[in-house]
Structure formats: C-alpha cells, structure tokens
C-alpha cells in the first residue's frame, strides 16, 4: 500500500497557505524552517505534484496546492473532532467551547448567555469570538471554532444549522425627518437616505435584499462599522436605517428621545441560528446551547 500524507504534513501546508512565509509558518507550527520545508517537500513527493512555488521574494500556492489545502482543512477539522469525541465519551459536557457570534447579535445576549452557560453547563469553559459571518464560518470549517451564531439567510455551506428565532428589521429615523417618520411601507422611503453597515456585515446584505439602491460599487453614502455608530448617525439626522428587533428593545434606542422606531410593511427579516460542523462531537453541548439561546432571544424580542 502506498504511503499516505500525514496530518502533520497537511498542517504544515495549511499554515504556509495562511502566512505565505516559511519562517512564520515554521514559528506557528513550533518547528524549524527546515523541518517544515522538508515536510512539505515530502507531501509533494507523495502526491506527485508541486504544491508551492518559491522564489526569493514570493511564496504562492499552485492550483493543485490550493485544492489540497481546501481538502486538508476538512481533514484536520475532522481529526480535531475525532480527538474531542474521545473526551466527550469519557467526560461529557466538559472542557473548552469556542463560540463565534456576529457583532449585530453579540452585544444584546452576552451577559445572559454567560450566566445561562454557567448554570446549565458548569464544567464548560466558554470562549467567545466576535467577528463577521464570513470570518467565523471560515474558522468553524477550519476547526478553530466549535459553533457560531449568525443570522440567515447566509451561505452555511452544508453545515449543521439550528434556527433560534426569526426577527423583523425596524425603521429607525430622526424625529426631524418627517417624510421618513410618516412612511408606512418600504416603497414610501427615499432610499438615497438609507444608511448601512460596512461591507461584510450580513445585516447590510439583509437590508439590501429588500432595499435595492442601484449600482452598489458607485454607492458613496456614509457607512458605519457598528450598530452604535449607525444609531449615532441617525441621531445626527444624516439619514435613516433598518435595525434588527433584538436591537430596538435595548437602552441604546429607548433612551434616545430624538429617534423614532417603528415597524414597517414589507420590511426585511432575518433568522438567528446556531451553526456547527456535521462531524461535531459536541452534539449535547449544541442542543443545550440551542435551548439557552431560544430562551434568551424569546425574552429579548418580547
């Protein structure tokens, strides 16, 4: 039987693909540069093709190298799940759990989530990672996160998905903006005054799915990096926005006397969901977290 690539060799290649620098990849892999280079050369020999192109200035993956890296990420994530499965069988509901959450959900549930996990999963050490959907889903696929909480619709790429709750987006405008304040449907709004989050936030995409604004690459409107900044922009009467229901019940909006918050006909919606890999060994933790999140969101939305 022909020799097979080792997980260590695949790990070297994946790390190199992330750094495109042999010295840095070796440092991250806790080996010498010669050991990492030798491992990748042996991997190339076993696979019968060049995976990495090297010269004095640049390191780049070949097309074959890119395909091998994509498959290697899956294999390495599955291997991590296999190791975790052994511990789960002997010591269930214990150890570290890395949870990714998008910025348009995280601020509104974190304290309740930490409290509930401490009560219901006392032997679990929860590590929270806040980032945009694409980044946390990528980290989940690579095995760097155990689960992620995000908003659908979003391409979950065949991952395991449990829906938590559905919420509508609400119109938020300044009291001085009477035309917007009197709007009853999306069709009544002047979308040239619509303010959005920056590229990469799924809330931006959910809003644009219902509010076409023409050629987006020529869109020069002000953009916010966070929901609080977006609210401040509305407070300054720079325009209006659409915010998720989970945000409109918070002190951030309720205490602001300059703002009007209202539901509007044919407004877009989003579905909050918890996502994990299908190979996850943390099914029990996943099920408990789904119940915890459903309880928290139900309170927040009513």
Q: Which residues have CB under 8 Å from 285's CB, separation 6+?
A: 93, 97, 121, 124, 146, 147
The answer as to CATH 2.60.40.730 being correct for domain 166-269 is: no
pLDDT band at 218 (very low <50, low <70, confident <90, very high): very low
For residue 12, which of 62, 63, 76 has the smallest C-alpha distance?
Answer: 76
- Cα separation of 16 and 70, whole Å? 13
* Topology annotation, domain 7-75: Arc Repressor Mutant, subunit A (1.10.10)
- Among 3.30.43.10, 3.60.20.10, 3.40.190.10, 2.30.140.10, what is the CATH number of 92-165+271-301? 3.40.190.10
Which residues of the chain form CATH 3.40.190.10? 92-165+271-301, 166-269
pLDDT single digits (tens) 239-298: 999 999 988 877 667 777 888 889 988 888 899 999 999 888 899 999 999 999 999 999
pTM: 0.79
Which residues of the chain form CATH 1.10.10.10? 7-75
CB 297 within 8 A of CB 174: no
pLDDT single digits (tens) 167-177: 989 999 999 99
Specify the DSSP class assigned to residue 214.
S
């Amino acid at each position: 039987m022909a020799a097979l690539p080792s997980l260590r060799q695949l790990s070297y290649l994946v790390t190199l693909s992330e750094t495109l620098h042999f010295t840095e990849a070796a440092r991250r892999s806790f080996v010498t540069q010669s050991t990492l280079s030798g491992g990748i050369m042996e991997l190339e020999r076993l696979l019968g093709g060049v995976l990495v192109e090297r010269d004095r200035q640049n390191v780049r993956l070949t097309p074959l190298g890119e395909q091998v890296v994509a498959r290697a990420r899956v294999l390495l994530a599955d291997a991590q799940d296999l190791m975790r499965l052994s511990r789960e069988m002997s010591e269930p509901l214990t150890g570290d759990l890395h949870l990714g959450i998008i910025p348009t959900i995280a601020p509104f549930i974190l304290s309740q989530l930490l409290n509930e996990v401490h009560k219901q999963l006392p032997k679990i050490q929860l590590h929270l990672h806040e980032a945009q959907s694409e980044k946390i889903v990528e980290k989940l696929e690579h095995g760097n996160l155990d689960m992620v909480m995000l908003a659908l619709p979003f391409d979950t790429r065949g991952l395991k998905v449990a829906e938590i709750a559905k919420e509508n987006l609400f119109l938020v405008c300044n009291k001085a903006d009477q035309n917007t304040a009197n709007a009853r449907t999306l069709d009544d709004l002047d979308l040239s005054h619509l303010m959005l989050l920056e590229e990469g936030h799924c809330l931006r995409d959910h809003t644009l799915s219902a509010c076409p604004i023409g050629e987006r690459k020529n869109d020069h409107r002000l953009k916010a990096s966070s929901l609080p900044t977006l609210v401040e922009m509305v407070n300054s009467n720079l325009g209006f926005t659409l915010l998720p229901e989970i945000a409109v019940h918070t002190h951030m909006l309720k205490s602001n006397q300059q703002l009007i918050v209202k539901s509007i006909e044919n407004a877009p919606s989003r579905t909050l969901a918890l996502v994990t890999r299908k190979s996850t060994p943390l099914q029990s933790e996943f099920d408990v977290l789904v119940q915890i999140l459903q309880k928290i969101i139900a309170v927040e939305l009513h």
